[in-house]
Amino acid sequence: MNTQKSANPVEYLKVLPQYLIPQHTLSRAVYRITRCEWKPLKNFLIKSFVSWFKVDMSLAKQPDGTVYKHFNDFFTRELRSDARPIVPGKITVISPVDGSISQIGKINSGEIFQAKGRSYDLDALLAGDYEMAENFKDGQFATLYLSPRDYHRIHMPLDGKLIKMTYAPGKLFAVNNHTAKVVEQLFARNERIISYFETAIGSMAIIMVGAMNVGSMETVWAGEITPTNNRSITIMDYNDRQIYLKRGDEMGRFNMGSTVIVLFGKNRVHWLPGLQPDQLITMGTTIGKIQCQ
């Protein structure tokens, strides 16, 4: 049961500046700063970030912050091979990220729960791709939030073959709980990359949602996709490209943090009982089970 409260006047005031500032201009500035290789600046940024957000560098493959080429190199750091063991089991759906559960549950009549009193359209989330949306009607969704301190690579919840990717331009609102309570259709309005996979249980979608100060997003098959001057929906067909990714394989990364939404079809998976909003999760741990094969 969801116990979140509706937005209060203070939360509306906190979100108001996001409507006024030039979101994309700010994010492009962050992109440049986080790729600055001038050692005094990048070392200062990394040291300050680790201290402020209490980042556990012992999990990193390279624990020495001064070795990283620039801040973004640190931010997308690789973890030790033993830091995130993948839970075994062919019927196990694993968390694709380190982070926390924003919302999780059923897609009801094409509506996905965002926060108390707010939902958003599945069709809109998938950038008007009604044919693909039909695969997920009355299915299951998980919205997972990555905080600044988290590991920012995204991995596969199940084995899958990439069939299509859509880039959808949009706003860059922050994606924290305050904004989710205030901004209507938040995840369907923000810039996003939608990747569709064919799995043993049918279609799976992984949506990477951009946000304020997210310098860029990238996938392992296409490289860096944002930022871009292209402000139109772009669809890339991968049906003829034999791109297979195993459960636990990296599929993309956020160059600065944001949100991942995972979608499955009707009666394909069930989430673990007891998963709740704000619950912490780590990549490779169980979040659900396959219902049919």
Residues with catalytic function: 98, 155, 258
Which run of H or of E encompasses 178? helix 177-182
| Whether 138 contacts 109, CB under 8 Å | yes
What is the distance of C-alpha 65 from the center of its chain? 25
Distances from the Cα of 159 to the Cα of 1, 104, 283, 285, 292, angstroms: 30, 21, 15, 15, 15
Tell me the residue length of the chain: 293
What one-character DSSP code corresponds to residue 214?
Answer: -
Identify each DSSP E strand in the chain by its residue range. Answer: 92-94, 99-106, 111-115, 118-121, 140-145, 153-155, 160-168, 192-199, 202-209, 216-219, 223-226, 234-237, 244-245, 250-255, 259-264, 269-271, 280-281, 286-290
The strand pairing partners of 155, in sequence order, are: 250
Separation between Cα atoms, residue 155 and residue 253, nearest integer Å: 9
**Cα angle at 270 between 158 and 89, to 5 degrees?**
40
Contact in structure between 216 and 226 (CB atoms under 8 Å): yes
